[in-house]
Amino acid sequence: MLLIVIRTAIVFLLLLVVIRAMGKRQIGEMQPFELVITLVVADLACIPMADTSIPLLYGAVAVLTIFALHEIITLVDLKMKRLKPFISGKPSLVVNKNGIDEFQLKKNNLDIADLIESLRVAGYSSLDCIDYALYESNGMFSALPKQGFSEMNTSLPLVIINNGEYDTNNLSLTGLSRSFFDGILKGKGVSSYKRVLVLTADGEGKIYLQEKGKKYRTFTVPLPHGIAW
């Protein structure tokens, strides 16, 4: 039976390390160790349920071990603040007053499209509606909006340039050409679209532009006649 205890503890710790390594995208609303317990405990209980040749004590001991490990980790998580980042992770500030933090995005295995999707789900349709955005340690997305942000949402912004590449699908949706946006970049002193982290445009000509490693800028450009979305 001590074998079951040791093997359960090893599998539990291994799953915890793996889930933490996979990052916030995979764990939804649970802390990593809670997800591990959810994954493991049902299976452990089911094995002796389904196989009558295995003593029920095997499942009971494994589940008790998981319970004890859960209680210990919860206690450590609550009482030892220095260990909390290792157990549960830390929130990641992916948008700040300067714009998108590319390093934090990459650290969490996310890209601009994921960020914008999270923003929309949270009720913010454009990057300049918010002052700060965080991915919490349980995978949830939260944002601090700018004052009066609801007045900013008048047209849906589309991602035109994403991490140095034109998004051809969105470009075709706008009805505008690459040369139009190349002209905008040249006017703002950006030498190449490859230097752009993100550029979004909405149907009223509002542009959100952030070069890699620089603060974001917003401005409005007149759209060619008949272009709107």
Partner 1 sequence: MIKSLISIAIALVAVFGITLTETTLVRSQFHQFETALAANTQKVEEERATEEDLNSLKTLWEEKKRVLYALIPHEDIARVDDYLAEAKIFVAKKDFPLALSKLEVLIQLCSAVPDAYRATPENVF
Residues of this chain that bind partner 1 (CB under 8 A): 1-7, 10, 52-57, 60-61, 64-65, 67-68, 71-72, 74-75, 78-79
Task: Give dist(CA 206, CA 220) in Å, integer.
Answer: 4
- The least distance separating partner 1 from the CB of residue 173, rounded to whole angstroms, comes to 54
Going by their DSSP bridges, the two strands 158-162 and 165-166 should be labelled as antiparallel
Nearer to partner 1, 84 or 217 (CB): 84
Nearer to partner 1, 68 or 113 (CB): 68
Give the amino acid at 132: Y
Structure tokens at 160: 């035109």
- The least distance separating partner 1 from the CB of residue 68, rounded to whole angstroms, comes to 4
Nearer to partner 1, 57 or 144 (CB): 57
**Rg of the Cα trace of the chain?**
24
Nearer to partner 1, 42 or 75 (CB): 75
Structure tokens at 4: 């079951």
Task: Give dist(CA 168, CA 173) in Å, integer.
Answer: 9
Nearer to partner 1, 60 or 221 (CB): 60
Q: Give the E-state strand segments of the chain in sequence order.
A: 92-96, 99-100, 130-135, 141-145, 158-162, 165-166, 196-201, 206-211, 216-220
- The least distance separating partner 1 from the CB of residue 48, rounded to whole angstroms, comes to 10
- The least distance separating partner 1 from the CB of residue 77, rounded to whole angstroms, comes to 11
